[in-house]
C-alpha cells in the first residue's frame, strides 16, 4: 500500500496485533545502493552511487549511513566499509577463518622488505619511476616493481617528462588490501621517522669533526 | 680461514652468486652494476663464515674490512653520480656528510613507511573482500546534436518510401531471330511481291535492322529481286 508522499506501509502480524512498518524513500534508496555495492567489482564512490541510483549526493550519504549501521561488525556477516576512495562490502572479520578456507587473499604470501619499501615510496611519493625508487633505496628495484605490478598493487601512471621513464603509483587494490580509505590516511613520514633529524645531526657533527 | 678464503667467500645474493673474488672483478670491469649488489649480504656471508671458526683471525677480518669499505665507497660514488653533476671528489667532507645525511634521512623515512605498511598488513590479515575483474566500463557517451523531431520524421519517411521501379529498357535490346523474318518474307513471296518498308513499318529500329539482314540473306541466296527508285525510296521485293 502506498500513499501520495511515496511512503509504503507493510503490515506485520505479531500475535493478535498488527504492526505497520513504514518504508521510506531513503530505505528504498538504501536497498538500491546495497544492490549496487553487491554487484560492483571495486569500491564505488559517492558520485558513482549517486549517478547509478539517480539520487542526490546528500541522500546517498544518508542512505549509506543507514547501510553502515546495518552492515557492521558483530551484526552482519557483510561489512560496509569506506575504502580506496569509495564504499565496498567485505567479509566480517569473525568469518575470516572460514573465508581463508575458500579463497586466497591478494597478498597471502606476504611482501619482501624490498617490496614494502618500494610500495612505501610509491604510496608516499608516487608517481615515481624505477630510477627514482632505486636512488632512494640505494639498490636497483626492478624486480620488486615488476612483482608489485604483477600482484596488482602498483600500476603504470604515465612517463617522466625527461627521459621518458615509466612512472608507477599504487592501485585501489593496494588501499583495499591495507584497509586504507585513501592515501591520505597514511601516517606522516615525519611522525614515523622521528629520529631522522637526530641522525642528520650526528652525521653533521662527525663531518664537522673531520674537517676541523 | 686463510687470506685466500676471503676471496673465495661464496656469496648467494639476489644479483650475484659465486665467489667474492669474481664479484670484485665484475664490479671493477663495470660488468655488474654495484647498485644491484647488497653489501649487507656480503657482510652477512662473511660473518656467517666467521662464526664457523673458533678463533678470530684479525688479518683476515682486516682484509675483508678494506675490501668491503672499497665496495661501499664505490657504491656511494654510484649513488652520488646518479645526480649527474655531483661527484664525491668534488665535495668536501661536510658537504658529503650533508648529502649523505639527506639521502639516509630520505631512505630512513621510506623505511619507516615500509615498516608501518608491514604492521598494517599484519593487522589486516582477516580482511577478505570480493575481487572483481577489470573496472566497470562506463557506457560510451553519445554526443548527438539536438534534432528537430519533424525533420527526423521526414528523413525516416523518405527512407521508408518505395524505391523507383527499375528500368527494363535494356531488355528491349534483345535481338529477334533472323529466321523469323526469313520465314515471313518467304511466305509473302509465295503469294506475290511486297514492299519492304510497308512490312517493317511500326517495328522497332532493332527489328527493322534484323528484317533488313533477312532481306539481304534472301538476296544473297538468290531467292529475291530487289528494286528501289532512288536512295531512301521504298524497297520493292519480288521472287527471283
Choose the closest CB to A103 out of B37, B117, B128.
Answer: B128
pLDDT for position A118: 92
Instruction: Using alpha carbons, select from B70, B103, B82, B85 the residue that is nearest to residue B35.
Output: B82
Would you list the DSSP string of A6-59?
S-EEEEEEETTEEEEEEE-HHHHHHHHHHHHHHH-SS-B-HHHHHHHHT--HHH
Give how far Cα B38 sits from Cα of A137, B160, B172, Å.
11, 78, 95
Torsion of Cα atoms, A168 then A173 then A179 then A184, to 10°: 40
Mean pLDDT on B116-122: 89
Q: Where are the alpha helices (DSSP H) in B124-204?
A: 149-160, 178-191, 196-200
Q: In angstroms, rounded to a whole number, what is the distance separating the alpha carbons of residues B81 and B228? A: 115
pLDDT for position A192: 75
pLDDT reading at A164 higher than 70: yes
Q: Which of 158-197 (B) contact A at CB < 8 A?
A: none
Confidence of residue B138 (pLDDT cuts 50, 70, 90): low
Q: In angstroms, rounded to a whole number, what is the distance separating the alpha carbons of residues A171 and A173? A: 5
pLDDT for position B97: 66
* Helices B58-81 and B93-123: angle between axes, nearest 10 degrees: 90
> Shortest Cα distance from A5 to chain B (angstroms)?
33
Tens of pLDDT, residue by residue over B153-189, are: 998 988 888 888 888 777 666 677 888 899 989 988 8
Place of cell 612483482: A147
**Nearest-Cα residue of chain A relative to residue B133:** A41
Instruction: Using alpha carbons, select from A38, A55, B102 the residue that is nearest to residue A46.
Output: A55
pLDDT for position A7: 54
Cross-chain residue pair B109–A96, CB shorter than 8 Å = no
Give how far Cα B113 sits from Cα of A53, A119, A125, A210, B119, Å.
39, 9, 11, 32, 10
pLDDT for position B139: 62
Interchain contact A189–B (C-beta under 8 A): yes
Cell readout for A111 is 611482501
pLDDT for position A80: 93
Would you list the DSSP string of A65-111?
HHHHHHS-TTT-SEEEEEETTEEEEEE-GGGHHHHHHH---TTTT--
Tens of pLDDT, residue by residue over B12-57, are: 777 788 888 788 777 777 777 777 777 888 888 888 887 777 777 7
pLDDT reading at B113 higher than 80: yes
* Sign of the dihedral through C-alpha A138, A143, A144, A149: positive
More confident residue, B218 or A200: B218
Cell readout for B68 is 668491503
Tens of pLDDT, residue by residue over A73-118, are: 999 999 999 988 899 999 999 998 888 888 877 776 678 888 999 9
Interchain contact B101–A (C-beta under 8 A): yes
> Mean pLDDT in chain B?
79
First vs last C-alpha separation in chain B: 139
pLDDT for position B75: 76
Instruction: Using alpha carbons, select from B99, B118, B122, B108 the residue that is nearest to residue A190.
Output: B108
Mean pLDDT on A109-138: 87
**Nearest-Cα residue of chain B relative to residue A106:** B131
Q: Which of A79-88, A198-207, B54-63, B122-131 has the lowest mean pLDDT?
A: A198-207
Q: In angstroms, rounded to a whole number, what is the distance separating the alpha carbons of residues B223 and B60? A: 135
pLDDT for position A3: 41
Q: In angstroms, rounded to a whole number, what is the distance separating the alpha carbons of residues B77 and B121? A: 36
> Shortest Cα distance from B128 to chain A (angstroms)?
5
pLDDT for position B10: 80
Bridge partners of A14, per DSSP, are A17
Q: Is B182 helix (H, G, I), strand (E, B) or coil?
A: helix
8 A C-beta contact, residue B129 and residue A106: no
pLDDT for position A2: 40
Mean pLDDT on B85-104: 64
Mean pLDDT on A41-66: 92
Most confident range, picked from A8-17, A27-36, B46-55, B64-73: A27-36
* Interface confidence: ipTM more than 0.90: no
Cell readout for B49 is 663464515
> Mean pLDDT in chain A?
82
Q: In angstroms, rounded to a whole number, what is the distance separating the alpha carbons of residues A88 and A38? A: 8
pTM listed for this prediction:
0.54
> Shortest Cα distance from B15 to chain A (angstroms)?
10
Q: How many helices (H) and strands (E) does chain B have?
A: 9, 5
pLDDT reading at B206 higher than 70: yes
> Shortest Cα distance from A208 to chain B (angstroms)?
6
Q: In angstroms, rounded to a whole number, what is the distance separating the alpha carbons of residues A196 and A190? A: 8
Q: Is B107 helix (H, G, I), strand (E, B) or coil?
A: helix
Mean pLDDT on A145-166: 86
pLDDT for position A68: 92
Interchain contact B124–A (C-beta under 8 A): yes
Amino acid at each position: 500500500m502506498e500513499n501520495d508522499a511515496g511512503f509504503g506501509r507493510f503490515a506485520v502480524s505479531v500475535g493478535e496485533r498488527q504492526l505497520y512498518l513504514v518504508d521510506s524513500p531513503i530505505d528504498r534508496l538504501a536497498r538500491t545502493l546495497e544492490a549496487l555495492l553487491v554487484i560492483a567489482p571495486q569500491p564505488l564512490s559517492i558520485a558513482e552511487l549517486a549517478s547509478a541510483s539517480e539520487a542526490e549526493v546528500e541522500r546517498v550519504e544518508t542512505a549509506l549511513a543507514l547501510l553502515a549501521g546495518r552492515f557492521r561488525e558483530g551484526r552482519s556477516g557483510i561489512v560496509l566499509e569506506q575504502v580506496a576512495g569509495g564504499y565496498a562490502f567485505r567479509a566480517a572479520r569473525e568469518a575470516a577463518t572460514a573465508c581463508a578456507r575458500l579463497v586466497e587473499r591478494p597478498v597471502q604470501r606476504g611482501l619482501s622488505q624490498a617490496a614494502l619499501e618500494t610500495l612505501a615510496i610509491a604510496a608516499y611519493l608516487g608517481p615515481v619511476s624505477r630510477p627514482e625508487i632505486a636512488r632512494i633505496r640505494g639498490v636497483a628495484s626492478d624486480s620488486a616493481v615488476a612483482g608489485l605490478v604483477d600482484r596488482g598493487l602498483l600500476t603504470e601512471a604515465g612517463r617522466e617528462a625527461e627521459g621518458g621513464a615509466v612512472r608507477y603509483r599504487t592501485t585501489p587494490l593496494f588501499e583495499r588490501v591495507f584497509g586504507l580509505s585513501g592515501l591520505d590516511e597514511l601516517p606522516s613520514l615525519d611522525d614515523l621517522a622521528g629520529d631522522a633529524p637526530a641522525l642528520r645531526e650526528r652525521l653533521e657533527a662527525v663531518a664537522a669533526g673531520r674537517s676541523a | 680461514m686463510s687470506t685466500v678464503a676471503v676471496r673465495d667467500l661464496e656469496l648467494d645474493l639476489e644479483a650475484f652468486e659465486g665467489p667474492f673474488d669474481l664479484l670484485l672483478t665484475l664490479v671493477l670491469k663495470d660488468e655488474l652494476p654495484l647498485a644491484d649488489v647488497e653489501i649487507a649480504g656480503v657482510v652477512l656471508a662473511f660473518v656467517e663464515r666467521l662464526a664457523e671458526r673458533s678463533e678470530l683471525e684479525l688479518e683476515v677480518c682486516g682484509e675483508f674490512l678494506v675490501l668491503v669499505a672499497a665496495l661501499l665507497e664505490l657504491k656511494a660514488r654510484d649513488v652520488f653520480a646518479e645526480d649527474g653533476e655531483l661527484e664525491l671528489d668534488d665535495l668536501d667532507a661536510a658537504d658529503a656528510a650533508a648529502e649523505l645525511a639527506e639521502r639516509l634521512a630520505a631512505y630512513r623515512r621510506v623505511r619507516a613507511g615500509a615498516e608501518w605498511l608491514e604492521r598494517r598488513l599484519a593487522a589486516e590479515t582477516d580482511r577478505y573482500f570480493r575481487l572483481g575483474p577489470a573496472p566497470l566500463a562506463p557506457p560510451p557517451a553519445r554526443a548527438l546534436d539536438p534534432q528537430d523531431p519533424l525533420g527526423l520524421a521526414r528523413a525516416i519517411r523518405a527512407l521508408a518510401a518505395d524505391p523507383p521501379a527499375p528500368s527494363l529498357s535494356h531488355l528491349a535490346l534483345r535481338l529477334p531471330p533472323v529466321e523469323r523474318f526469313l520465314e515471313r518474307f518467304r511466305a509473302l513471296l509465295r503469294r506475290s511481291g511486297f514492299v519492304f518498308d510497308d512490312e517493317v513499318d511500326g517495328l522497332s529500329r532493332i527489328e527493322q535492322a534484323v528484317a533488313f539482314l533477312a532481306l539481304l540473306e534472301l538476296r544473297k541466296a538468290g531467292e529475291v529481286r530487289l528494286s528501289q527508285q532512288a536512295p531512301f525510296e521504298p524497297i520493292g521485293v519480288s521472287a527471283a
